Amino acid sequence: MIKVIEDAKQIQKLHNLFHEKLDSYCSDKVDCWVGFPGGNFENTVRYSYDLNIWVSILQLENRFWNGFGIGKPVEGANNSLVGEINFPLEGINRRIAGAFAKDSNGNILVLHRGKIGGGKKGVGKTLFMNEFGGDFIKAIDGEIETEFCLIGDLNSQFFLNQVSFFIQEVYRIKNQLDDSTQPSFSYLTKFNYTDEHSGVTITERNEPTLIERTHGLVVNALDKKLKSKGFKTANDKNRDLFIHKGKQIKILFEIKTSSATQCLYSAIGQLLIYSIPIKNSVKLVAVLPTKLNKLVAKRFSDIGIEILYYKWNNEKVEFIDLDRILSI
């Protein structure tokens, strides 16, 4: 069970830890103006070269306010906000999008209700929840159960990368409406199939009780790698990532952060089910962190699914034999 934290002292303590972690990466301080729809204000923001994000911090009457932007802020100039991760000072406040929560293993999770602004028609919670490429989880939210976007595990070694990924997703989703040159894949979402979100951590008896929630990081890394090779990529709520050419999907990827049996079942099912609406020939690829034994790998091959392995090198994802997969 995951439960949203309501106690004021706990929230204060966790917010302090949130910023201690940000401070470890955000070494530069820049005096500038922070811009938002309808106005701006002067502030000293902190910038991280490694994450390429900046953060502006305020404590308001009822919330801890954390505004984020992308790219190095320009000193003395106006720098536009991309998104916010705010927390109520105490209790449950569903008008404030951020929340801390604790799971049954004692892990502290940073969550978001999906409420984003942007001053543009069509930008809001519905769009974000439909398009967010990260994980979703359900948590006890006062007296009700609520679905949240998972930003990350506060004590994970990948937490700051997870924050960066979340802000990059806010930016991508807010700006995708401006990209009139992107081909439409709206017909893919008309396929009537119901599935649980991939954010529910799957473990098996002999595995650690905590699996790092790195799904979004791997998706993002693969997306960047493919784009660096000149491929056009996209995704939707059901499909982690795909390569498209001439308005046709050519390669469909399903990313898993574990090679546990249940994760393999899920990868096979999602690739097969979500490729049904694709009328042209498409290559199906399961992206896995652990090499499978020869018999299991052959079974994947027999049903038409190729395997792309990856590994972590410090905090970077490396894909093994990617060029073989990319031969369309």
Domain range list for the chain = 1-181, 182-328
CA atoms within 13 A on the CB side of 27: 5
Please indicate, yes or no, whether the overall pTM of this predicted structure exceeds 0.85: no
Question: Do β-strands 283-288 and 305-313 pair in parallel, antiparallel, or remain unpaired?
Answer: parallel
**Distance in angstroms (rounded) separating the CA atoms of residues 159 and 137:** 17
Closest alpha carbon to 202 in 220, 215, 193: 215
Please list the pLDDT of the chain residue by residue as tens digits (328 residues): 899 999 999 999 999 999 999 998 888 999 999 998 878 999 999 999 988 999 999 999 999 999 999 999 999 999 999 999 999 999 999 999 999 999 988 999 999 999 987 666 767 888 888 888 788 899 999 999 999 999 999 998 889 989 999 999 898 888 876 554 455 555 554 443 333 333 344 333 333 334 457 888 898 899 999 999 999 998 877 788 999 988 889 999 999 988 888 899 999 999 999 898 888 899 999 999 989 999 999 999 999 999 999 999 887 899 999 999 998 6
State how beta strands 53-59 and 241-245 pair.
Answer: unpaired
Rg (CA), the chain: 20
Whether domain 182-328 has CATH 3.30.950.10: the reply is: no
> What pLDDT shows up at residue 194?
34
pLDDT at 182: 52
Distance, C-alpha 295 to centroid of its chain:
33
N-term to C-term CA, the chain: 44
Nearby residues of 12 by Cβ (< 8 Å), 6 or more positions away: 89
The dihedral built from the CA positions of residue 122, 126, 131 and 132, taken in this order, carries a sign that is positive
The single residue listed with the structure tokens 């998972």 is 150
